[in-house]
Amino acid sequence: MSPTQAARILVVEDNADTAALLRDLLEGEGYEVETAVTGEAAFEALAAAPDIDLMVLDLMLPGMSGYEVIERLRAQAELSDLPILVLSALGSASARVRGLREGADDYMTKPFLPEEIVARARTLVTRRLLARRTGELEALSRIAQAALTAPSPELLLFRLVEIVVEVFNADVAVIYMLDEARAELRPRAAVGLPPGVEPAPIPMGVGAVATAIATREPVLISDGAAGAGEPLTRREAFRSVMVAPLVVAGSPIGVLEVACRTRRLGGRADRLLRIVADRAAVAIEHARLENEARELADVVRRIGEGVVVADGDDRIVFANRAFHEMIGASDSLVGVRWTDFLAGAQDVAALTAQMRAPSFQGEVLLLTRAGDPRPVLATLSAAERHDGGGIQRIGVFRDISREHELRFRVIREQKFRTLGSLAAGVAHNINNRLTPVLGWTEMLQEVFNADVAVIYMLDEARAELRPRAAVGLPPGVEPAPIPMGVGAVATAIATREPVLISDGAAGAGEPLTRREAFRSVMVAPLVVAGSPIGVLEVACRTRRLGGRADRLLRIVADRAAVAIEHARLENEARELADVVRRIGEGVVVADGDDRIVFANRAFHEMIGASDSLVGVRWTDFLAGAQDVAALTAQMRAPSFQGEVLLLTRAGDPRPVLATLSAAERHDGGGIQRIGVFRDISREHELRFRVIREQKFRTLGSLAAGVAHNINNRLTPVLGWTEMLQERLNADEAIAGDELKHALTVIHQGASDSVETVRRLQEYSRPARVKGPEAVQLRDVLEQLLALTRPQWDNEAARRGIRYEIDLKADPAPAVLAVASEVREALLNILENALTAMPQGGRLTLHVRGEDERAIVSISDTGKGMNPEVQRLAFEPFFTTRSTEGGTGLGLSLAQEIVQRYRGTISLSSAEGVGTTFTLSFPSITAEAARTPAFLPTLEPLRILAVEDEPEVLDVLRAMLSAAGHTVFTAASGREALELFEHETVDLVLTDLGMPGMTGLALAEQLKRQRAIPILLLTGWADELDAATAPSVDMVVAKPFTRERLFEALARTLPDRVRPA
């Protein structure tokens, strides 16, 4: 339907014949006509339907005169711009002048010519419709401007409701956004409501909202109907409420509500509201996509893997920071072929052929800018661009240098000669993201009644504007690219204003006139956020574009720029989302409460989750086999990188390298955290194998020292026990002081031997998978010295030399690490230090705290290193002791362990003076309080002790009986079951390894009969946990002291402990 056919005219005429004639004439032109016989009736008609496009008014009316009608209309804001055509029998000049002065737009006298009344009505109606369309374009322009300038989606919503209130002259406007999780519409922005009044959420099926969403059309609720429970009227009465759906790509994202308290919205307001709602929805979606694109771009920029997007010619369109660092490039790589970085030490032709497949994954060798080879795991995929612009290729590159190094070590340890070589590599080709071509040219041609319209987009690489869409040019004629500095285009871009070229000036070499002459050409810049992205050209061959067309073209160009940018951002968001989805590392975006907002497929696979993780705290997946409290405190820093242990849904531990960063949300919604998790299970396995191989070598040398130490400790034990036995057998009296001294020596010797064996067991036992925990470097060093000193003392005595070892321990904070791995790093450094002192010397170990870091330095007075050896000291397989069995892996492994926990390691050395290694670790916020040992006093208990070793059972009975407890003893599980049935006991102590029935099986059967506390005594305590011993309340490691035994009893039965 055309604008003329849609116009409505109100005829105010008391003469029935004249009114009928006017109705026939105007309806014949396609207008909708209403009539009123008095001024009062006219205002009643306007109150019922205010969207009138023209009033034909008689002056001499019964009651209110025509002059009074004009005066009252011009006094009402909502009706002041209504066009008025006076048709009166008063033909004097004074009457005509008065009518026009009062506010009439035109004046005709009776009798009239039908053709003239129709022509004048058409002129006024057309002017009215043009004003309405101008208002619509202004509203769209303001929305477009708000979309470009609003710093966040939330501020955009508030700006939109302000614009809607002004455009509709309304009292209230509210934007509700769809919350699919709650199946309701939630208010996001509102203006005009009284203080303290907030719009409530709307269930999806309520009244006008449901109708608007279902029909995709605005719904008007007027007069009394507005009180029927519609959302805005729950707390306040409105005369008119109009609800319009916000729809993007056919799917609703929310609703826009406009309300008036006293004024009635016209029926035609729905058209303008539909247009405004459509543009608002696009602006909101544009802001959302822009925010999403920024967040996804943040993920791609921060992720530890190199990411490259390339066009069909392998030229890089985008490369993240990690890829730049991977190849050692500080300058931009845009436009460079990424395949130029493939190292020649591989079959590049064969690899390139493989990489042309739709998808590829394999190891390749890249060449850095410095000429160094770098092994990477490349994952390539090809896909059609979302805008139909051909094939693009996305490449994800993970640096596997460390994995290669570890793999290389294992091969060297196993075969001693063969060194691994990198597998052949990959190539990859990804299509460039191009700005989509939009169909604005046809709309421009129609709106301006032009012959030709062309959109040019800026190509910064070529410093020119390239045509992307055109209509109206003759067949075979294509618009040529435009250099940035040419004529009207340069002026338009520089001034950010349209430029008009008319008549003869149009032939002065302007772009569109190169092959064809145009009478008028108008050029408008396409600008987004203050930066030009292209130009829009409109041309007429025979007609001259009016001077005022520049205003309309500016509005259209602004809207077109927003639409083009929206499409570009949507495409970019999709492509970046593809990168995040396809990348091999787990990616998580979480809110300030650690609840997951987004998790990619790799993270789901990493933890074995098939359902959605949105709303789950990602920290719930941290395994308990690490110091979770200390770890969480460190991860609250603005950035964090380190190894942590996750627990899969199946309960399996999975070591990962976590990279976390915190940043303000782009929409001002507070802090968000982005986490990138790389599965390092394979690296852990390789590392474990390397450490195990080193342990096997070290244990051989430790054994001799341990045996010597134990022999020394047991010699006085055996000597005193033999002497005491002989004297007792001979009934010889022994003095009390002498007996006390002998027992002290025996106890000390046995305790020292037990501690030596325990340390050797702990070192040799295969480690369970553990995560980082609070570690004191002083404790690690003390344990390490106690374990290894017997070996060094034995070696020194054998060679007739002397080692002086000095441990200085100043206050130092705890660090977050795995104690066994730090011990392994320190052991390798200690071995190197002692080996460097073949004639003996002094070894100084100093633990201290400096600037919130824990530092340990190890200094020797050995041979020292020359500069060349210092430079190569940490290189894998470099050794100066190859003839003595050195592998060259010790210092390299130590460096890897230190760096894994965000530490640093350095050395300083001088030949003939000695060497100092310095290790520095970041501290954790708080040190876990150590639980002091105590010897509690318990109320008398009835205890069942089960042990198949008579000596151990005897000492158990003696310890417990001396403390006032009643003890029942059993030598096997079967005997214990029989005793348990006949005797009432408070607690059971049982050995683990017994013939016939193990302690775990006994505990399970006892628990079935009744709830009874059970303590398990075993030499394999470190290999048990809650999962392997579910029926046991506590595990006590053998050998045990009386203090440790009673402490375990008190913790198991705290209500039976007597007050101190």
pLDDT tier at 419, thresholds 50, 70, 90: very low
Quote the pLDDT of residue 625: 74
- pLDDT, residue 509, reads 41
- Strand pairing report for 84-88 and 106-109: parallel
* pLDDT of 68: 92
Q: Residues near 922 by Cβ (< 8 Å), separated by ≥ 6?
A: 634, 815, 816, 852, 853, 902, 903
Tell me what the pLDDT averaged over the chain comes to. Answer: 79
Q: Which residues pair with 259 in a beta bridge?
A: 172, 241
Which residue matches tokens 């890089």? Answer: 316
The predicted structure's pLDDT at residue 387: 58
Cα(631)–Cα(645) distance, integer angstroms:
10
The reported pLDDT for the residue numbered 250 is: 85
Average pLDDT over residues 647-669: 80
Other CB atoms within 10 A of residue 130 CB: 11
Give the pLDDT score at 269: 74
Architecture of domain 3-135: 3-Layer(aba) Sandwich (3.40)
More confident residue, 545 or 929: 545
Fold of 770-930: Heat Shock Protein 90 (3.30.565)
Q: How confident is the model at residue 226 (pLDDT cuts 50, 70, 90)?
A: very low
The yes-or-no verdict on residue 427 having pLDDT over 50 is: no
pLDDT at site 48: 79
Choose which CATH entry (3.30.450.40, 3.30.200.20, 3.40.50.11900, 3.40.640.10) describes domain 440-578: 3.30.450.40
Domain positions in the chain: 3-135, 150-295, 305-415, 440-578, 585-679, 770-930, 942-1056
**Rounded-to-integer distance, Cα 973 and Cα 845, Å:** 50
Q: Higher model confidence: residue 939 or residue 550?
A: 939
pLDDT for 460 beyond 60: yes
Model confidence at 933: pLDDT above 50: no
What distance, in Å, lies between the first and last C-alpha atoms of the chain? 97
Distance CA 793, CA 971 (A): 42
Q: Can you give the pLDDT at residue 739?
A: 77
What's the CATH number of domain 150-295, 3.30.450.40, 3.60.21.10, 3.90.190.20, 3.40.50.620? 3.30.450.40
3-state secondary structure of 991: strand
Instruction: Return the CATH fold of 305-415.
Output: Beta-Lactamase (3.30.450)
Number of residues in the chain? 1060
Looking up tokens 């916000």 gives 246
Report pLDDT digits (tens) over 260-281. 887 777 666 777 788 888 888 8
Q: Are 967 and 957 in contact (CB under 8 A)?
A: yes
Residue 822: its H or E element = helix 819-835
**Amino acid in the structure at residue 824:** E
Largest alpha-carbon pair distance within the chain?
A: 158
Kind and range of the H or E run holding 781? helix 777-799
The residue among 12 and 273 whose pLDDT is bigger is: 12
Share of the chain above pLDDT 90, in %: 12
* The CATH fold of domain 942-1056: Rossmann fold (3.40.50)
Q: Which of 729-738, 851-860, 949-958 has the highest mean pLDDT?
A: 851-860
Residue 720 pLDDT: 72
Given a contact cutoff of 8 angstroms between Cβ atoms, the answer to whether 789 and 805 are in contact is yes
Average pLDDT score over residue span 96-112: 90
User: If pLDDT is split at 50, 70 and 90, which confidence band does 287 have?
Assistant: confident
Least confident span in 553-567, 596-610, 935-949:
553-567
Amino acid 1: pLDDT: 38
Predicted confidence band of residue 762 (pLDDT cuts 50, 70, 90): low
User: Which of 43-47, 94-98, 559-563, 722-726 has the least mean pLDDT?
Assistant: 722-726
Q: CA-CA distance, 257 to 191, in Å (whole number)? A: 11
Instruction: Determine contact, residues 355/428, Cβ cutoff 8 Å.
Output: yes
Model pLDDT, residue 273: 83
- What is the tens place of the pLDDT at every residue in 492-505? 888 888 888 876 55
Q: Which CATH code fits 585-679?
A: 3.30.450.20
Q: To the nearest whole percent, how much of the chain has pLDDT over 70?
A: 82
Give per-residue pLDDT as tens, 1004-1058.
Answer: 999 888 889 998 888 765 556 656 678 888 888 877 777 888 888 888 888 888 7
Quick one: average pLDDT of 363-378?
A: 87
Cis peptide before 50 (omega within 30 of 0): no
Distances (CA, A) of 264 to 503, 849, 1051: 49, 76, 78
- 436 vs 678 pLDDT, higher one: 678
C-alpha separations of 128 from 43, 51, 704, 764 in Å: 19, 11, 106, 94
3-state helix, strand, coil in the chain (%, to 5): 45, 25, 35
pLDDT of residue 513: 45
Per-residue pLDDT of 698-757, as tens digits, reads 555 555 555 655 665 676 677 677 777 777 787 877 777 777 777 776 776 676 566 566
* Structure confidence by residue, pLDDT tens digits, 569-579: 777 777 777 77
Q: How much is the pLDDT for 848?
A: 93
Model confidence at 930, pLDDT cuts 50, 70, 90, reads very low
* CATH fold match for the domains 305-415 and 942-1056: no
The pLDDT of residue 707 is 60
Q: How confident is the model at residue 236 (pLDDT cuts 50, 70, 90)?
A: low
Tell which residue, 228, 429, 469, has the closest CA to residue 316.
429
Residues 770/647, Cβ–Cβ less than 8 Å: no
Distance between CA atoms of residues 758 and 752, nearest Å: 10
Tens digits of residue pLDDT in 598-655:
888 889 999 899 888 888 888 889 887 777 887 888 888 888 888 888 988 888 888 8
Helix (H, G, I), strand (E, B) or coil at 112: coil
